[in-house]
Chain A
């Protein structure tokens, strides 16, 4: 375990997802309270959940960062000091912030460590220097910055640098899109993004000012970005001494949180042990990343500035190789597994149980019963069922099923 690797920072959209991310290998998680974050539609955390989440993560050596990265208006800001006191009391490891008013309020009311959010679109050395003077200890760089540029920023400032390694991408400079504000009446920079960039648009090159010409229009998802996948660039991240690798996706599924944490966690662990990524598992890791719901992958701007090949010119659709069948709620030794069903499966199906470490194990559904023992012909999402016990299976293990070969 002699070789240095960056921190793996995974999303925690809910308490359950926090546990999944940590158990599957995240070194740190980021999450939001009921206010001040950018994912108003996520479950987010109540105070008690936050307390439990911090305790759970810390007891397993993982850090917890709390997002306060909305562009807050005065009335929102007035409520912030009370929340900061709670975060200090819980000993969260840092807060992620994009607004100078929020930074100023944090410094006045707490000693919380400040990470500058990608929402602030910090893109260059001079910008990082400014935010450093304002009190940021870590910068989450804009997703438009290359790893080489990030290395320069780190070298010039000595700041901790965090970069996105995986997940969905805004096409716009983060914090520089207000489409939802004007078209849907929802502030995208306070958590109300309506994802208008994923729509199909008809582009009229002739009627530039009126939009009236129907001829020569091109239909395209021209503002939709492919997803980021940086696993092949882990050596570059390490060489650049990037401190933290962030996985996007607080709104995404347990399957996503678990799989991405496990894959990147396994890859980084391999490097710590061997000092390289020359593992026969590299192909397997990439294969695993394709098993979660995703758009086509690209490396975004990590190696070179994002080009034409990073546009996801397709309608959003589910094209999953695997779906998560459920999460283990209880493993009653030699009796059964209790599974919180997320998608339907049948007796006789072959499922895969994902352990927290190591390869998946196949499990044949020899029986499928309700909690009272009645045989079922199909499991129903939103129910709990009994299936055969599998040695090694643990609470919070994910169970998945291939849907496409």
Chain B
């Protein structure tokens, strides 16, 4: 199992090298503040890190995951153009613009393509594979995918896949600066960190970051699939990302992670887990049912079905009449002798039509689409009741 993790400074690299052992399979992700969403590493510091990595022949990958409008994208391109790209084993890219730029300008460079937004179907993933060809070294998949989906994808895709195993869950990414307007004191800082809670949400303490790329909000619980490493490996997923950039995770967890990924231990000890400031969850790893509530978002009974549809009741005058707005050609050739109705509450009614009148009171024998007609009153029918032809 390969450990993918972030290194943000020479001191972190030194610590990593001190703890790492010969059994550990790993890659180090290096970023800089100009290209990476959360990195505080300057370009000069990145260059120092790259030099150290080259000296020790370490597998390092460059991260370019910020999103950019055209003007800002030009600046990011200029940074990319001046970095020693040959010193990196691959580049991790997310913006389709970055993907296209690397594909066309640096066709020799391997890409680890971050497909964490959407990309929840095999058809699309295969299309990315096909488009990128040999240049695609890895597909970094969304943490909204369940293990069943991951298992399928690992089996069906030619390209190795990577998932996040530990760290913050990003919920929201805006290019706008949303925290500094609240606290002018904070404006001097290049990165502002805070937490947010809302009385309208049962969840409290969403971690927040504002930096030059905009504002980010994270979930109140962090992701950990560390208890499932064996199961994940059995799915043929061999790259797992462990994000220790926040909450002192690097110092709290690094040793344990190295031991875990090199097989020296099988689980993180409760003492280490206790150091984590937020609860840990498995996210959607077991199941993703985020579409099941959709059926409750609207009343299906007030929604017309196409077959035998006549129209909708738009007015009820108790003991007098109902107003029916005709929405199809069902009465074009002649009005029916009876209709079937379904009320918004789900009550079903059948109504004989001894008469059908226009709003002016004249009886009619036929009616067209968009006509409003009056029909006899029946108890229990309300506005938005849907009306259908009665099928003998």
Find out whether the CB atom of B70 lies under 8 angstroms from the CB atom of A124.
yes
Contact status B328-A48, CB under 8 Å: yes
Determine, out of B9-17, B90-98, B332-340, the stretch whose residues face the partner at the interface. Answer: B90-98
Q: A171-B178, A173-B173 are in contact. Are A101 and B359 (CB under 8 A)?
A: no
In the bound complex, residues from chain A placing their C-beta under 8 Å from that of B192 are: 205
Pair B207/A201 contact, Cβ less than 8 Å: no
Q: Is A377 interfacial (CB 8 A cutoff)?
A: no
A149 and B69 in contact, given A130-B97, A187-B291, A200-B200 (Cβ under 8 angstroms): yes
Interface stretch (choices B39-47, B81-89, B124-132, B253-261): B124-132
- Interface mask (A90-130 → B, CB under 8 Å = 1, otherwise 0): 00000000111111110000000000000111111111111
A384-B201 contact in complex given A190-B291, A205-B183, A208-B207, C-beta closer than 8 Å: no
Q: Would you give the shortest CB distance from A283 to chain B, in whole angstroms?
A: 30
Contact of B70 among A121, A145, A184, A225 (CB under 8 A): A145
Identify the stretch in A228-236, A304-312, A346-354 within 8 Å (CB) of chain B at 4 or more residues. Answer: A304-312
Q: Contacts A48-B309, A123-B97, A124-B69 given: A371-B176 contact, CB under 8 Å?
A: no
Q: Is B247 close to A, CB under 8 A? A: yes
Do the beta carbons of B127 and A134 come within 8 Å of each other? yes
- The answer to whether B73 and A123 touch across the interface, beta carbons within 8 angstroms, is yes
| Bitwise interface map of B from 95 to 132 toward A, beta carbon under 8 Å scored 1, else 0 | 11111110000000000000001111111111110010
Cα distance A338–B374 in the bound complex, in angstroms: 12
Question: B195 to nearest A CB, angstroms?
Answer: 4
List residues of B (266-313) whose CB comes within 8 Å of A's CBs.
277, 283-284, 288-294, 297-298, 303-306, 309
Given contacts A71-B120, A202-B198, A384-B314, contact A223 B178 (CB under 8 A): yes
Q: What does the 1/0 interface line of B146-172 toward A look like (CB < 8 Å)? A: 000100100000000000000001111
CB distance from B82 to the nearest CB of A (A): 18
**In the bound complex, what is the Cα–Cα distance between A134 and B96 (angstroms)?**
11
A218 at interface, CB cutoff 8 A: yes
- Asked if residues A211 and B125 are in contact (CB atoms below 8 Å), the reply is no
**B68 proximal to A (CB < 8 A):** yes
The contact size tier of chain A is 35 or more
Q: Are the C-beta atoms of A179 and B217 separated by less than 8 Å?
A: yes
Q: A100-B119, A176-B117, A223-B217 are in contact. Are A127 and B100 (CB under 8 A)?
A: yes
Q: Is A395 within 8 A of B370, CB to CB? A: yes
Looking at the assembled complex, report how far the CB atom of B44 sits from the nearest CB atom of chain A, in whole angstroms: 26
Taken together as a complex, chains A and B put the C-alpha atoms of A42 and B175 apart, in Å, by 29
Given A134-B127, A187-B290, A384-B315, check contact A210 B70 (CB 8 Å): no
A126 engages B186 (CB within 8 Å)? no
Q: Are B73 and A124 in contact (CB under 8 A)?
A: yes
Docked Cα-Cα span, A180 to B57, in Å, equals 43
**Shortest CB–CB separation between residue B165 and chain A, in angstroms?**
17
Q: Which of B181, B219, B316 has the most CB of A within 10 A?
A: B181
Which residues does B use to contact A, with CB under 8 Å?
67-71, 73, 95-101, 117-128, 131, 144, 149, 152, 169-183, 186, 192-208, 215, 217, 219-220, 246-247, 277, 283-284, 288-294, 297-298, 303-306, 309, 314-317, 320-321, 323, 325, 327-328, 359-360, 369-372, 374, 383-384
